[in-house]
Structure 1
């Protein structure tokens, strides 16, 4: 269990135990590795120097998609693998992944024409193994306009209609992490791998610094995997052998998304469309009463821990919007919030355009025994994890004569995913929602919680039912109070930003809730977790900065 109240004792335990596998990095890749390895019966530890998913894994386009653009680049195997993986992700976690019909309009002179759109989507459906009821259909110009009335009509010829999958990337990560913890993995946030431990030149663990207390621990493990995303090269830099052996390194690109109120950008149909000048394509997606648009793709060499949407990023997206939706007259002042994320990509020779660099993952081995996973995509996290753990199993067999069983996570629901799969999900939500009034919640609130937490929702209901009006003490709605308590006890929420940014996404899509309830949440966290006023002030300032970054 990812319990913030027992975090300190968990760290004490981790420093006294030798693990089979230690993972550096608590994004979706690290979480996936932890789940795969712990299901195989390995003793697993994971450390993350920030909050879980605070880096790339909470800053994506929030789509589990099959990589249609890779078909254009003739990367057939990539389309086949990611297309099939997205169906697995959906089936194992329908509460964090939702089918989303996407419109791909084609205009005269655009990236796609009628023939290429029809053929491309048909091949896409075949490669990805798309279910019959989700296969593409072609739309006339009139049908496109009916779905997206404010689309550019000049040169419009029609469109393709196909299914992608919308996700909450940060919640997907935490649900995978929670499932790994259910199998026995010890995962802790805000712990930095400061250096490696060695015996005879072989990595045997890490020196770990608790970023909250300043305490330093030694965590020992037979195998160590570096899954630190944008920080892969920095972690490898602490291992002399890895630094000397591998000439490849990461290059970082930045992706920015901007969010509008629905009244400023009315959209009920997700759309994937051409930009005006550079031939890139971007998404506009309705979500939670808002519309968000992205992404950019530019080289980035600044602070990886805090990328932000700069004026030129926003201007690029505004220009793209006004090109495809000329009647909107979109303006930077209409942007309600934004986020920026870093993509850690493997440097390839001759790639001058950020969008041309491969998103493929690679595994690097050091003579010290350190295993590094670099690159990759959100959609392919499960398959990447399987490949890494296969390598770990080989390493453990060779050096420790351990026989690690081969298991599959293809049919392994993530935490909250025990809802009867995608077929039974809606029935589950409707039935479980009826219990909400008995815990002092409305049916609508129960439905909202069930959609978000899946089969974990009854635990959240119980926290709502036993508040004894404590929520009023903190001037919080009962629903929000229950979510914060659940976040602390089951998702290792420590700071206000952990909850408002990554466990709930409110900073991006419900900013008023952040502004209205932050003081109550800050007090509730401090009272429950017993940290001092200095820590509370620091965490409040971090939330202030996050708010400013998203609104700058």
Structure 2
């Protein structure tokens, strides 16, 4: 696709946003906003979505990369939340089989840990029941010896046993992109790098939004019957455009994850383990790295200044060393990191870890619908509640029948699979017919793009480099406008394969200059911004 064609597509979207009338405008292009867009458009609503930065660039690319059932919420007696996210986990595995991958999690039991043998056994059993876990995947209680076989790095003198239970690993940013692609295919108008700057009001009721396109430098208005604020950590800032924020407010908590070379942290099994301050954290192996997290501390500073600090690094490294003293992990072993904030609902007197992860909906006097809180795993149900809040209000005004939610069985782009076995078969088939690519390259592509890998590989048959084919696919199909968009929010390479970023970014910058029409100075600026992103992920103060 040429630069003129790529920008022409954006101009067409802007023209539609500016000149058409919508049932709904969504502010925020993270997992919640994307889920709302697909839910609403598949119910027949005319939908627009605007995101001020890149899609998934906030909390939705900074999770632990797990679609999990919320085991720890049992300790807070949030049985309803465990049940909901557990059932949603199974649904998401069917909707995006290549992106929501089975992962066994080991809960080691120690003499002074959060879970004793009896509590762990009962808790995991309740977890299986509430989360509706299939029999083959239900928990197994292990002896100390069996636990050590599964994870030899565990200290001999402190392990009393273990529990093996089911989770799912994912790439959170890819879920967002595929949801948005699905919504667009159904007719939604979605655009990134377009900030909501104020609300349009008629007779004291919100009737749309005013926006600024950061790429084109233009400002325009989008008119709609309803506006849903799904801006995550920025939700209260959006609310301030039309009223003073009183009553329940967001309480932001900071979550940091560290990436270490697998050779430095060579665990055989994904782990959920105790740390000295009474919390629990994850350690998850992934190809040639292991990532570790997360922290959970209050955050009340400017979101533009969000960084992984040396204190964060020390906390996680010290926590891992306390459980795996033989490793002797050091801060200089960290090769990358990511940090995000959770948009929780403030609760008086509770610590960051104790605050509920439930979502809530606020409706202002002017009609703004805001949804906040919640978990990645529960995005579909959050979207359903938000859209039905809108439809209930519309029904009261018009008497129109409320259409049913259709997203429970709506397979996302790239998911042409019925099971993980089908994915393995597809990878083998691609390897057999594409000898110019390694099995590692094929596995990487399929895990991210599913059956869309066919289109990427097809472009390599004329001699195009595989990463250049991937870049072209993302620019053509996935709203990529900046170098960092590709390396962070489409592929996660900056987190999981930093060396590939360093070795390829100049070639990719040249390619993006050709495809997007950058000037030489703009290309230089893109490289500078990417290098700054690398510094933020790797240098800690």
Q: Give the TM-score normalised by structure 1.
A: 0.94
Distance 1:393 1:429, change over 3 A: farther
Is the partner of 2:380 in helix, strand or coil? helix
Q: Distance in 2 between matches of 1:366 and 1:420?
A: 43
Question: 1:35-434 to 2 correspondence within 5 Å?
Answer: 35-240=38-243, 243=244, 246-276=246-276, 278-305=277-304, 307-351=306-350, 353-400=351-398, 402-422=400-420, 424-434=422-432
Q: Is the 2:254–2:298 contact (alpha carbons within 8 Å) kept by the matching residues of 1?
A: yes
| Greater alpha carbon shift after TM alignment, 140-149 vs 317-326 | 140-149
Q: Is the 1:223–1:396 contact (alpha carbons within 8 Å) kept by the matching residues of 2?
A: no
Q: Is the 1:3–1:491 contact (alpha carbons within 8 Å) kept by the matching residues of 2?
A: no
Distance 1:40 1:418, change over 3 A: farther
Q: Is the 2:171–2:448 contact (alpha carbons within 8 Å) kept by the matching residues of 1?
A: no
Structure 1 residues not aligned, in runs of 5+: 472-477
Instruction: Report the alpha carbon displacement of residue 228 of structure 1 after superposing the two structures with TM.
Output: 0.2
Q: Distance in 1 between matches of 2:95 and 2:423?
A: 11
Q: Distance in 1 between matches of 2:449 and 2:459?
A: 13
Q: Is the 2:30–2:231 contact (alpha carbons within 8 Å) kept by the matching residues of 1?
A: yes
Residue 474 of structure 1 aligns with which residue? Answer: none
Q: Is the 1:151–1:326 contact (alpha carbons within 8 Å) kept by the matching residues of 2?
A: no
Instruction: Report the alpha carbon displacement of residue 458 of structure 1 after superposing the two structures with TM.
Output: 1.6
Residue 476 of structure 2 aligns with which residue? Answer: 489
Distance 1:203 1:434, change over 3 A: farther
Instruction: Report the alpha carbon displacement of residue 153 of structure 1 after superposing the two structures with TM.
Output: 2.4
Distance 1:211 1:271, change over 3 A: same
Instruction: Report the alpha carbon displacement of residue 287 of structure 1 after superposing the two structures with TM.
Output: 0.8
Q: Distance in 2 between matches of 1:39 and 1:430?
A: 35
Pairwise CA RMSD: 1.8
Q: Distance in 1 between matches of 2:529 and 2:287?
A: 25
Instruction: Report the alpha carbon displacement of residue 404 of structure 1 after superposing the two structures with TM.
Output: 4.3
Is the partner of 1:15 in helix, strand or coil? helix
Distance 1:509 1:390, change over 3 A: same
Distance 1:122 1:460, change over 3 A: same
Aligned length: 536
Instruction: Report the alpha carbon displacement of residue 541 of structure 1 after superposing the two structures with TM.
Output: 2.2
Residue 457 of structure 2 aligns with which residue? Answer: 461
Is the partner of 1:54 in helix, strand or coil? coil
- Is 1:538 the counterpart of 2:514? The answer is no
Q: Distance in 2 between matches of 1:511 and 1:112?
A: 36
Q: Distance in 2 between matches of 1:420 and 1:368?
A: 45
Q: Is the 1:396–1:403 contact (alpha carbons within 8 Å) kept by the matching residues of 2?
A: no
| Greater alpha carbon shift after TM alignment, 385-394 vs 7-16 | 7-16
Q: Distance in 1 between matches of 2:322 and 2:282?
A: 13
Q: Give the TM-score normalised by structure 2.
A: 0.95
Distance 1:5 1:99, change over 3 A: farther
Instruction: Report the alpha carbon displacement of residue 448 of structure 1 after superposing the two structures with TM.
Output: 3.3
Q: Is the 1:223–1:392 contact (alpha carbons within 8 Å) kept by the matching residues of 2?
A: yes
Residue 17 of structure 1 aligns with which residue? Answer: 20
Q: Distance in 2 between matches of 1:268 and 1:489?
A: 39
